[in-house]
Structure 1
Amino acid sequence: MNVRDQARAIGDAVLYEGYLLYPYRASAGKNRVRWQWGVLVPPSYASAEIGEHSSARVECLLEPSDHTVLHVKLRFLQTRTQDSTWDEAVEHEIDFELPLAELPAERPFQVPGDGQRTHELSGVLTARADPLDGPFGGTRLRVDVHNTTSWPSDGVRRHALRHALLAAHLVLSVDTGHFLSMLDPPEWAKPAVETCRQERLWPVLIGDTSRSTVVLASPIILYDDPAIAPESPGDLFDGTEIDEILTLRTMTLTDEEKREARATDPRAAAIVDRVDTMPPELLERLHGAIRSVRPAGPSVTVAGVRVAEGSRVRLRPNLRGADAQDMFLIGKTATVRVVLSDVDGATHVAVTLDDDPGADLQHAHGRYRYFSPDEIEPLEVAE
């Protein structure tokens, strides 16, 4: 997947975060309070006192070339009234091409409405680029989005949302040059990073985590180089949840509840249909994957003894702060399957229990119990 496709995939997750939550029915209380992320309301409804705003800003650092062109993709949802209890969403994308040499620039935009189910939206995008002080070059890029829609406010949020930009975010890209990480910038850029100001948007590098040609300006704070889990079979509209839990919960819905969910929204119907026809092997994939550990090497030395794949050990788990289930493993023997290191450099020994009849199956699926080297006692050394 190239960086632009990756940015779109993450942007889609942001676009529909919280759009529709389990149990995916319009009658559910949680689905009557919607549109929490990236909401830019019309100016007549905006108020800092109630936490509603009509604009957003992102600032990030760019190392441009002589002829860099900034491409900005503004993405958001617009509500489409379905009935008195439910509003659907219409996706919008607006593209801007802004040569850096022509900044500052201001670009108005409009989204037509049909006068009944959707309402006309208007806004303006502004951009500017300011050279950084010092000998290292670089530019501070600032992009603002404003909802300028005219609407005589009646003070009702649900009505204001029909004139709002929802889940608004930006994809910034350059044809030449590159953006710098705001989380882990080079040393010379750290003072400039500290002066950057973010308002309801957060810049995230897509692709390379030190420099990239694409930045996602997200209303949800993310780490650099975010990615959709490859095990995820489709949208559940809650990117912070666990797919397996939501899938199993959806399976427990009654036929009547599923009918109501299908009638709520086409996207809810797609979830229920996908869960109803999900094959067992796909559900098995959702059980989880470990990505934060890596092989530490072929072995680790414990009490002067080399412990590696195939070594037999006795478990002596430290019960303070550990899983309570570990008390049942004290003194049991196990076979080492792999020695791993996590992102902090700590070593973990992955084992299967010798008296577990499913040990070989667990090994085949890569499911182990993990212990630190001080929680095992070597019995036999692997050949």
Structure 2
Amino acid sequence: MSMPMEIARRVADAVLYEGYLLYPYRASAAKNRVRWQFGVLVPPGFTATAEPSASVTECLLERADDAVVRLRLRFLHVRTRSVERAEGGGHRPVAELTSGERTYLTFEEATEREVEAVLPISALLDAEQTVEVRVPGDRSAELILAPSGEREGRVVSEHLPLRAALRAGAERVPGPYGLVRLRVRVENTAGWDGPEAAREQALRRSLISAHLLIGVTGGAFVSLLDPPEWARPMAQDCRNVHTWPVLVGEPGHRDVVLSSPIILYDYPDIAPESPGDLFDSTEIDEILHLRTLTLTDEETRQARATDPRAAQLIDMVGDMPPELVERLHGVIRYLDTPAREAATPWWDPAADAGVSPETDSVTVSGVEIAKGSRVRLVPGRRRADAHDMFLAGRTAQVEAVLLDLDGARHLAVTLDEDPGADLHRSHGRFLYFAPDEVEPLGDGEAIA
């Protein structure tokens, strides 16, 4: 496997198990009772929810006349796990069964599935190619034996069969750049006769966390998130439904695309400090690690019984050496020389020699208003502040004429009748009004 595809697989694995089982990793937790939220492609006859039965990926290729495309469809296949207690000559389904020190729970697991197809662009330009996906069902039973060897029950696991299709095609994009638009439709084709059936039933015939890894040799993908200017109109014309294609692999390489049900950015990667899969790639590993350590013995027992992957996670967290735990606290990726701080910060009026609040003025009703001028406040013409009713008609002294970043003038004032005006003046705590919210007063005009 090439390095770009290996990097892509690490990211795709995180997508595959995003939300698979969330902290506190117990079946009893409410958020683990409604599972399988991302990339779900249900049977086309199931209409009880708004979940789709297909996704469509469109992306652009350049220099692709002799290119070969490798499509890798990956998804989870729901596997039911039913616990049955031995009774008489048969078995009775139960939610939970404890035998010795081990607890068995009725729950759902998932199995990774992967389908790959290699198709030359020349064939896709001629006609749409269809790759049928057939995953057979299976059923197995594991006996539960007491420490004495007596049969106490069994665990019955079952996959239902899946049917799906990959439909791929390509077309040349008109214009001088020689681009090819690649289109891949992933479609659940399973038959379904219960449109209003429970979602849990439909999920057993669904593709879960479905996503595509698309590799190309003899060509290069064009970023749809940040295309070059010449390709931007063509990139905007690409139609992606229920999926989000991004470049993956080593930054700068353009030979692998991940079409994900989760919104990502170009060249996503898994932090090297991440110790393992915690099933929530949007969370912080350190937080999940610490929270998992706080689980009680009973909670840990329940989590271990919930899912084998949960048991592996708990072991990983509990056995992590201190030096790896310390790495979870944080890391500096880039360390540049900080820019020299300006002698005068940008927000200080002294930073702009063309601005002087102490001497600047503004004309209001033909009268020049500057620091020291007296005005009557007439707020409310442009704003609806409930406190304006207490200021309307009051007189004030202008302390400064200010200019904001948008070029608008503002008057900083103190109220004539305010006994704390000197204190406000010394601390620079003023009331602010636009020039059209004041009226000039003559020097001899009485205070209102």
What band does the TM-score fall into relative to the shorter chain? 0.7 to 0.9
Aligned residue number for residue 90 of structure 1: 111
* Shift of residue 63, structure 1, vs aligned partner: 1.0
Aligned residue number for residue 53 of structure 2: 54
Aligned residue number for residue 130 of structure 1: 171
The residue identity in structure 2 corresponding to 1:290 is I
Task: Within 5 Å, give how 1:19-38 maps onto structure 2.
Answer: 19-38=20-39
Aligned residue number for residue 106 of structure 1: 130
Task: Within 5 Å, give how 1:190-339 maps onto structure 2.
Answer: 190-207=232-249, 209=251, 212-291=254-333, 293-296=334-337, 300-303=340-343
Alpha-carbon separation, structure 2, partners of 1:13 and 1:21 = 13
Aligned residue number for residue 117 of structure 1: 158
Alpha-carbon separation, structure 1, partners of 2:27 and 2:172 = 50
Identity of aligned residues (%): 55
Deviates more, 1:64-73 or 1:178-187: 64-73
The count of residues paired between Structure 1 and Structure 2 equals 300
Change over 3 Å in CA distance of 1:152–1:66 after alignment to 2 = same
Kept after mapping to 2: 8 A contact 1:181/1:209: no
Alpha-carbon separation, structure 1, partners of 2:117 and 2:78 = 23
* Shift of residue 267, structure 1, vs aligned partner: 0.5
Question: What CA deviation, in whole Å up to 9, does each residue of 1:344-382 have, x standing for no partner?
Answer: xxxxxxxxxxxxxxxxxxxxxxxxxxxxxxxxxxxxxxx
Aligned residue number for residue 10 of structure 1: 11
SS in 2 for 1:300: coil
Kept after mapping to 2: 8 A contact 1:72/1:170: yes
Aligned residue number for residue 66 of structure 1: 65
Change over 3 Å in CA distance of 1:217–1:235 after alignment to 2 = same
Change over 3 Å in CA distance of 1:95–1:149 after alignment to 2 = same
* Shift of residue 215, structure 1, vs aligned partner: 0.4
Kept after mapping to 2: 8 A contact 1:69/1:176: yes
Question: What CA deviation, in whole Å up to 9, does each residue of 1:191-230 have, x standing for no partner?
Answer: 0111111111111101355551100010101000000000
Alpha-carbon separation, structure 1, partners of 2:73 and 2:234 = 25
Alpha-carbon separation, structure 2, partners of 1:294 and 1:2 = 27
* Shift of residue 301, structure 1, vs aligned partner: 5.0
Stretches of structure 1 lacking an aligned partner (at least 5 in a row): 305-383
* Shift of residue 68, structure 1, vs aligned partner: 1.0
Deviates more, 1:166-175 or 1:153-162: 153-162
SS in 2 for 1:106: strand
The residue identity in structure 1 corresponding to 2:117 is F
Alpha-carbon separation, structure 1, partners of 2:251 and 2:178 = 20
SS in 2 for 1:82: strand
Alpha-carbon separation, structure 1, partners of 2:251 and 2:225 = 9
Alpha-carbon separation, structure 2, partners of 1:66 and 1:152 = 44
* Shift of residue 189, structure 1, vs aligned partner: 0.6
Question: What CA deviation, in whole Å up to 9, does each residue of 1:132-165 have, x standing for no partner?
Answer: 1111111111100000011322520011000000
The residue identity in structure 2 corresponding to 1:185 is P
Alpha-carbon separation, structure 1, partners of 2:16 and 2:249 = 20
TM-score when scaled to structure 1?
0.75
Kept after mapping to 2: 8 A contact 1:205/1:214: yes
Alpha-carbon separation, structure 1, partners of 2:253 and 2:308 = 39
Over the residues paired in the alignment, what is the CA RMSD in angstroms? 1.7
Alpha-carbon separation, structure 1, partners of 2:53 and 2:138 = 22
* Shift of residue 112, structure 1, vs aligned partner: 0.5
Aligned residue number for residue 44 of structure 2: 43
The residue identity in structure 2 corresponding to 1:120 is P
Alpha-carbon separation, structure 2, partners of 1:236 and 1:211 = 28
Stretches of structure 2 lacking an aligned partner (at least 5 in a row): 83-94, 96-105, 140-156, 345-448
Kept after mapping to 2: 8 A contact 1:181/1:211: no
Alpha-carbon separation, structure 1, partners of 2:108 and 2:202 = 13
Alpha-carbon separation, structure 2, partners of 1:162 and 1:31 = 16
Kept after mapping to 2: 8 A contact 1:236/1:243: yes
Alpha-carbon separation, structure 1, partners of 2:332 and 2:265 = 18
Kept after mapping to 2: 8 A contact 1:60/1:142: yes
Aligned residue number for residue 161 of structure 1: 203
Kept after mapping to 1: 8 A contact 2:66/2:219: no
Alpha-carbon separation, structure 2, partners of 1:170 and 1:64 = 22
